[in-house]
Structure 1
Amino acid sequence: MMMRDWAVRAAGVLVLPVVAGAAGEAQAGGFGLREQSAYYQGTSFAGNAAGGEGLGSMFWNPAAISFAPGLSVEGNVTYIAPHAAVDVYSATAPLTGASLGNLGVSDIVDNGTLPTTYISYAWDKWAVGLAVTSPFGLVTDAPCNWSGRYYGCYNKIFDMNVQASAAYRVNEWLTLGGGLNVNYIDAKLTNAQFAGLATPANNLYAQLDGDDLGIGFNLGVLFTLAPGTTLGVGYRSYIDQRLAGTLNLSVAGLTTVNQMNVNAGLTLPDQVTASFRSQIAPQWTVLGTVEWTNWSTVQELVVTTRGIPVSTLDLKWNDGWYFSGGVEYQWDPRLALRAGIAYELSPVPDETRSPRLPDTNRLWLSGGLTYNFTPQFAMDFAYSHIFGETSPMGLYPTDPANALRGSLVAEVNDGYVDIVSVGLRYKFNAPTAAALITK
């Protein structure tokens, strides 16, 4: 009885729709964040759009909320510890071409914490769900005296998304879902600013701050191909964000010499996730996912004041792809074990990779478990290690966007990420009547 009372109180805390903290290096290509669920992290997010006990499936496919009958809540906290070094081979100052040395950065990405919250209620043929997540995020941190200072120092993107969704069971094998996303994004980008022909260690310090609220939608379909076998496809729409804020120029980040109101347009990418989940034996389930992210919407970031461009970041990103496979083993009625592997193709091309976002292709290895304390209360745990590829960085003033940034020839190496995630799930008096979709 004490366990039940404690579990109810814990679940009550978990439903608070609060997202705090910021992740370090983005873990879904570009500046996306994939770590929305401890349950699915255990399989490297294989099967994440095909339903399952984890409520986080609604993030990728709103039709999947039909998996949990009655009222359910889930809260996850993920700690992300990335590492990436930038070795500088050569760097030159704008206009003069003077050497800036080869001072690199031993670790350019910061650690961060990512919480998520999910609530769902399913009855008869209907299900509704609410998710509070952070689909995007970034923290890169370089001292503003390093050789690549004109291309970036400290950069941070904070994002929070509220998703409201509904699902309807059309028949025994088809469930449809859809909903609305409200997304808030706040960005800070800093770099040294060239101020003349002389090249001191840091002429000026430029800081861009901006935020915006945007609206998008989500759609999904879930097919029950056979008992224990589901196929899910989910779509998250692009979101146009019009960041409004200030551009501040200062000496050493202390004495302001100029400040102006600025705007910058950014289109957050749409995404399609396709997953399958199949129970091939009483204790074994196999899972897989293919995901496409339309990062080619991010071609450049133009900062304007009164409609006049004052700064441009030339990005020219490609589409992102993610492939994962995993297995789940039901050890006993209380304990389920998971493992997964994935490979991700970065959308960032070699020719525009920058210290603001030194993203590379990566390999995922994950393991996790679920332990059911009671039929209603469960804990999910997962650990992932990501191996980042060594990739070049070559930025030159021949690109008009870099005319006042000089050149930077470098390499991103020693990239890896350790991720630990814990989730708690609670079902409030789940009804014994048939759920919309059963395993």
Structure 2
Amino acid sequence: MRDWAVRAARVLVLPMVAGAAGQAHAGGFGLREQSSYYQGTAFAGTAAGGDGLASMFWNPAAISFTPGLSVEGNVTYIAPHASLDVYSATAPITGASLGTTGASDIVGNGVLPTTYISYAWEKWAVGFAVTSPFGLVTDAPCNFSGRYYGCYNRIFDMNVQASVAYKVNEWLTIGGGLNVNYIDAKLTNAQFAGFTSPLNNLYAEVNGDDLGVGFNLGVLFTLAPGTTLGIGYKSSIDQNLSGNLNLSVANITTVNQVAASAGLTLPDQVTASFRSQLTPQWTVLGTVEWTNWSTVQQLVVTSRGIPVSTLDLKWNDGWFFSGGVEYQWDPKLALRAGIAYELTPVPDETRSPRLPDTNRLWLSGGFTYNFTPQFSFDFAYSHIFGENSPINLSASDPANALRGSLVGEVNDGYVDIVSVGLRYKFGAPVTAALITK
């Protein structure tokens, strides 16, 4: 059993380079699904440590929680759904009606893998992670009535995180590190081609990528045996995406292609979490998270220094609140459940088919089964209920002068998420770096 477990763990923790292809689930175009272990509590307790190595994603000080060398690999399947009803849509300039053809199931399914490695000894700990903090795929047909506001859109993201932690004393651990982030984006929409609403629109496609660098900081307080409070900070990352702007007929025959670029600031984030073992069986957990999505006000695409397209976004800050419990059924099996509510950063007045983000309610459950003291299996399932929210885009906004107007509603939004993970501890010392139970 030991040899098989080691081989399985080694396979799962190879660096995974695939990003998520699906609707974002952390407000905006963020992805929260970085851990099977914490998904079981609706991500309550993420920054407060625990057996899940993924805590380092939110708080680098938490890598000291598990002594010795440990590895973890997770794979999460995300199956979202959202429809867009159109009540009215008009062409730019002429104001001609574009009809009320909506779009159903405009967000795609996807798979998100993550990898974590940590080593803790005496007062020091180091950690390494490969994750996908951001991502998006929306796919509306380019003949629907809101086609000037978006058709197919994709954001691929991969982040490599290296962190170090130092245990100052029995109750305080500090940590910090570096994040290197790669992002690749593709945005498409129909392009108005004349004063008469065309049956065969031009097709506009902007694509670009960039590599950016940020940092992470964290602190972990051990308030009592089995009770921890963690606070983690991830810095903003400035990305300057460089690529091309293509215009084509029906996405087949290119009529123009120019170099293009767009600046984007990925938001900084603060996560505060606690976990407290009330009895040998019961542990309660909680998280409050703030994301500075208000850094995203406009997306301006330029070519040779001249703006060629502007998206007015005017996003607000994002907030996430969650609470959860863990029950240790026996030494091998731990059960988890959690509930969360998230406030979207996308205001009603700028919501678009590109990113139909709404407020959402999370319900989650999961378990860990320990095959041996070293080898564990995590499973989690979440269902997200999305709120119905309006779309009200006006041609009176100068940024929409060549897009016309669009009035509608995002509805029937929900997500099913299934996640599995494996964790292995290689020869952990008897004395833990932090007391957990």
Q: If the TM-score is normalised by the length of the shorter chain, which range does it land in?
A: over 0.9
- Matched residue, 1:228: 226
Q: Does 1:154 align with 2:148?
A: no
What is the distance in 2 between the residues matched to 1:277 and 1:148? 46
- The amino acid across from 2:172 in the alignment is L
1:68 to 58, 66, 69: 66
Q: Counterpart of 1:296 in 2: which secondary structure? A: helix
The Cα offsets for residues 76-122 of structure 1, whole Å up to 9 and x where unpaired, read as 00000000000000001111111111110111100000000000000
What is the distance in 2 between the residues matched to 1:218 and 1:237? 6
- Matched residue, 2:338: 340
Q: Does 1:49 align with 2:36?
A: no
Deviation at 1:210, TM superposition (A): 0.3
Q: Counterpart of 1:355 in 2: which secondary structure? A: coil
2:385 to 381, 384, 387: 387
Deviation at 1:22, TM superposition (A): 2.3
What is the distance in 2 between the residues matched to 1:6 and 1:198? 67
Q: Identical aligned pairs, as a percentage?
A: 85
Q: Does 1:271 align with 2:286?
A: no
Deviation at 1:198, TM superposition (A): 1.9
| Contact 1:149–1:192 (8 Å) recurs in 2 | yes
Deviation at 1:23, TM superposition (A): 3.1
1:10 to 8, 11, 28: 8
- Matched residue, 2:357: 359
1:374 to 355, 372, 379: 372
What is the distance in 1 between the residues matched to 2:221 and 2:21? 34
Deviation at 1:11, TM superposition (A): 1.2
| Contact 1:74–1:423 (8 Å) recurs in 2 | yes
Q: Counterpart of 2:47 in 1: which secondary structure? A: coil
Q: Structure 2 matches for 1:144-293, cutoff 5 A? A: 144-293=142-291
Deviation at 1:438, TM superposition (A): 3.8
| Contact 2:19–2:132 (8 Å) recurs in 1 | no
Q: Counterpart of 2:48 in 1: which secondary structure? A: coil
What is the distance in 2 between the residues matched to 1:251 and 1:45? 45
- The amino acid across from 1:270 in the alignment is D
2:128 to 130, 150, 157: 130
Deviation at 1:431, TM superposition (A): 1.2
- Matched residue, 2:431: 433
TM-score, normalised on structure 1? Answer: 0.99
What is the distance in 2 between the residues matched to 1:129 and 1:395? 45
Task: Identify unmatched segments of 5+ residues in structure 1.
Answer: none
- The amino acid across from 2:8 in the alignment is A
Q: Counterpart of 2:433 in 1: which secondary structure? A: coil
| Contact 2:225–2:435 (8 Å) recurs in 1 | no
Task: Identify unmatched segments of 5+ residues in structure 2.
Answer: none
- The amino acid across from 2:284 in the alignment is V
TM-score, normalised on structure 2? Answer: 0.99
- Matched residue, 1:302: 300
Q: Structure 2 matches for 1:304-343, cutoff 5 A? A: 304-343=302-341
**CA pair 129-437 structure 1, distance change in 2 beyond 3 A:** farther
The Cα offsets for residues 6-59 of structure 1, whole Å up to 9 and x where unpaired, read as 111111112211131423110000000000000000000000000000000000
- Matched residue, 1:396: 394
- Matched residue, 2:111: 113
What is the distance in 1 between the residues matched to 2:191 and 2:115? 40
After TM superposition, the runs of 4+ consecutive aligned structure 1 residues lying more than 3 A away are 436-439
Task: Report the aligned-residue RMSD.
Answer: 0.7
- Matched residue, 1:38: 36
